[in-house]
Amino acid sequence: MPARREEIINAKEEGVKFIFLATPTRFIGDEKGSVRKVECVRMGLSEPDESGRRRPVPLKNTEFTIDVDTVIVAIGQRAKPLAVRGEDQIKITQHEIIVVNPETYETTMRGFLRPET
């Protein structure tokens, strides 16, 4: 799990339940369009590839659902500003990182992603 030890401890203290070697396959909503369940499948590890890494692979007939009321999709260790693509006032780099003032962390669009003061 790509997280610092303190992040894992903090998440556990806040009630986060970890489910390892599983991946979401679909979000299931109610008649109002609100998410209510996440369908997942358990994963196994493949044989090591040429780099020695064992990659996760779906296991047959291991699907399960989790009841939810909120889903936060967060993959990776850096932001992907998809929500700001096409927004001319928010400058992003060629690597899709939002440009901020290194002293204030303000973006190029006033009021957007501004730190709390």
Domain boundaries, the chain: 5-67, 78-117
Residue 67: the pLDDT is 96
- As a whole number, mean pLDDT of residues 87-105 equals 78
pLDDT at 77 over 70: no
**What percentage of the chain reaches a pLDDT higher than 90?**
48
Task: For residue 117, name the pLDDT band (cuts at 50, 70, 90).
Answer: very low
Closest CA to 43 of 26, 63, 58, 28: 58
Residue 76: the pLDDT is 63
Rounded to whole angstroms, the Cα distance separating 90 from 81 reads 10
Indicate the range of 28-32, 43-47, 77-81 predicted with least confidence: 77-81
